[in-house]
Amino acid sequence: MNDTQSKTSISFDNGKHFQVIKVEPNSSIYYENACVAEFELDCQQDLTTKYFHKPWVVKFHGIYHCRYSHRRHLFVSFNGGLTWKIFQQFSEDFIFLNHGSLILARQYMSESLWYSYDEGNHWYNDSYADVFKIKKIASINTLVASVVLYNKIDYIYTILNYDFSSIISICYITIDRTCQRDDYEIWYVPRYNDNCFDGEEVSYFKIKPSSMCLDKRTVIIPNISTCKYVDQDYRNNRHLPLGIAEEQERA
């Protein structure tokens, strides 16, 4: 790539250091060390609600600049921007339910409805085609999305409500259950140096991709703890416990 090629970078320490976007090798499109991503940023809208759907779920549209091609794709991260997946087959309608563990999307060209329970690793499709629009309608105890279908022959719009409260497993067995403690994993907010930034480590309980259950949490509260070791840019000696480093600074 030309060094003057525009690209998007990301920082995990409030802008002190930046690194290029990392696309996961198992994405639908991946060219090792040959491509860079350039995200589209619409500053006229609320950035938090448009791009940051959960602390760990981030979604952008952008251009993937490669050696001989420049194509627009959908970029999604399920780990707070640490790595990204490219979903080239889906359109603008790509919504998240169940705190990010359930995806509902409209496919390009065929305009059919697809959904995934494991962060896009496996997809299932519905027989309905000509999907015009997808709208999320989520409440505390249900996961409902409205899908607008358009009949191009008769010029008729039809609205269908999909209720995903009854989760279907890979074996197509209805297990309709609330998430339990074993269905969650601890996810740490990524930082430039491990998970620690300025003496604090932030984590959340996140549904495991392998768990298929209904997350009835109304609020997701972060867990904040003191780091035993902190970034050396903020302390003189990162290899000392926090209290000792502070004593040395005061000295």
pLDDT confidence of residue 104: 83
pLDDT confidence of residue 70: 85
Alpha-helical regions (H) of the chain? 47-51, 242-250
Interval 145-187: pLDDT, tens: 767 766 666 677 777 676 666 544 443 444 467 889 999 999 9
**Residue owning tokens 């950035």:** 47
SS (HEC) of 77-142: ECCCCCCEEECCCEEEEEEEEHHHCEEEEEECCCCCEEEECCCCCCCEECCCCCEEEEEEEECCCC
DSSP symbol at 201: E
pLDDT confidence of residue 11: 92
Q: What is the pTM of this model?
A: 0.77
pLDDT confidence of residue 20: 86
For the chain, give every domain's residue range. 1-87
pLDDT confidence of residue 227: 86
Q: Using DSSP bridges, classify how beta strands 200-207 and 19-20 pair: parallel, antiparallel or unpaired.
A: unpaired
pLDDT confidence of residue 26: 65
pLDDT confidence of residue 224: 95
| Dmax (CA) of the chain | 80
Mean pLDDT by 10 residues, the chain (251 residues): 64 89 72 76 75 91 84 91 88 82 79 84 74 64 66 70 57 61 94 87 93 85 82 47 45 43
